[in-house]
Structure 1
Amino acid sequence: MTANRPLRADAVRNRRLLLAAAADEFAERGMDASVADIARRAGVGKGTVFRHFATKDDLIAAIVLDRIDELNAVGEKLLGATDPGTALLEFLTAAAQQRQQRDLSFLHAAGEPSAEVTRVRERMYATVHQLVDRARDHGAVRADVTGDDIILLMCAPNYVASYVPDASPDLWRRYLAIIFDGLRPQGAHPLPHPPPATL
């Protein structure tokens, strides 16, 4: 049993390398990125890719699950924070940092999510709603802001910064600060449109 532990550790390491390499390869080449290129980038053989992920769709789903699980862990931990306003800002910061570290825009062309991705994403959405409810109940954000508003704003800082050629890697922080100031109740004006239907 002890002899198997290094193999399990290697498998975990290879899976992590593959997910990072695949995300980078898809970001650069889109959905046409080949398994051979992903394997080469990760420093493993094609067989290793298929041992972890039977199809390219499985690999894409794993990238999505990995990112959502990471945000879920952050959000669920922040639900216990004593300052709900700071907790919500920390969650939005973590979401923006994740997107800044790796371009995930290729996922928009990935097709319908799997049942597992849908389940985990809905869990994250529920966490976001709880974070917003807590912040709103404590007067840290305006009363007319909803969880769905925040879900839609999660990508906004990086999206805006992506339009600036040769932008500083930290430019997204400027726009996150503007967004969060807009969420505060101080000086808020009524919003001109109702929130979207539940996502």
Structure 2
Amino acid sequence: MRADAARNRALLLTAAEEAFAEHGMDASVADIAARAGIGKGTVFRHFPTKDDLLAAVMLDRIDALTTAGTKLLDAADPGAALLEFLTLAADRQQKNDLTVLQEAHAVNERLTEARTAMFTLIDTLVTRARDAGAIRADITGTDVVLLMCAPGHVAGFAPHGGPDLWRRYLAIIFDGLRPAGATPLPIPPPRMG
């Protein structure tokens, strides 16, 4: 890819992530193009449909988290590695919350494959932390996947919370994952997929 095309693609993805975070699926291609400082035609040269653009934004986010998580697989402290991964995920969500696009996995096959790879990675991080005794024995990767968006979601309800309030709720969630003081969970975890 030429340097100017790569630059335009990066600008588009950043602008699209911001627009989708603000407007969900109602974000317009015209608004995204204006935010990126490029013409609408350039958007369609990179992404033939709005769904293709949405999939690229989600894929970019998932790939970034998967890359970061993969680097944590060999960490000496598996509990700290899992917490770092959850912190990265919550921080990224806080910057641009795309939870309104949760059903985006149906947009294309490549996105579905990337989500599956990230879920497998999370399961590995959870298994390592559980085997090390850093988290309770009954916590699964599915539990952690479902909790990933919780810190930002909960903080969003606080009328006077600051931009870092999500960190408080991530700490509460992670403390709940720890084995100290744990009581048996009332039902088994849900299955993903």
TM-score of the two chains, using structure 1 as the length reference: 0.92
Contact 1:31 1:109 in 2 (8 A): no
Number of aligned residues: 193
Contact 1:92 1:154 in 2 (8 A): yes
Q: Which of 13, 18, 22 is the matching residue for 2:7? A: 13
Deviations 1:84-124 (A, max 9, x none): 00000000000001101112133136582311110000000
Q: Does 1:24 align with 2:18?
A: yes
Letter paired with 2:128: R
Quick check: 86-95 or 97-106, which moved more?
97-106
Q: Which of 100, 124, 133 is the matching residue for 2:127? A: 133
In the alignment, what sits opposite 1:100?
94
Deviations 1:142-175 (A, max 9, x none): 0010110000000110010011124200000000
- Matches for 1:58-97 after TM superposition, within 5 Å: 58-97=52-91
Letter paired with 2:16: A
Letter paired with 1:57: D
- The whole-number CA distance in structure 2 between the counterparts of 1:46 and 1:112 is 25
User: Percentage identity across aligned positions?
Assistant: 64
In the alignment, what sits opposite 1:184?
178
Q: Cα distance 1:110–1:69, how it changes in 2: closer, same or farther (>3 A)?
A: closer
- The whole-number CA distance in structure 2 between the counterparts of 1:151 and 1:26 is 21
TM-score of the two chains, using structure 2 as the length reference: 0.95
Q: Which runs of 5+ in 2 are unaligned?
A: none
- The whole-number CA distance in structure 2 between the counterparts of 1:26 and 1:118 is 19
In the alignment, what sits opposite 2:137?
143
Q: Which runs of 5+ in 1 are unaligned?
A: 1-6
Q: Does 1:116 align with 2:110?
A: yes
Q: Which of 160, 170, 182 is the matching residue for 2:164? A: 170
Letter paired with 2:94: Q
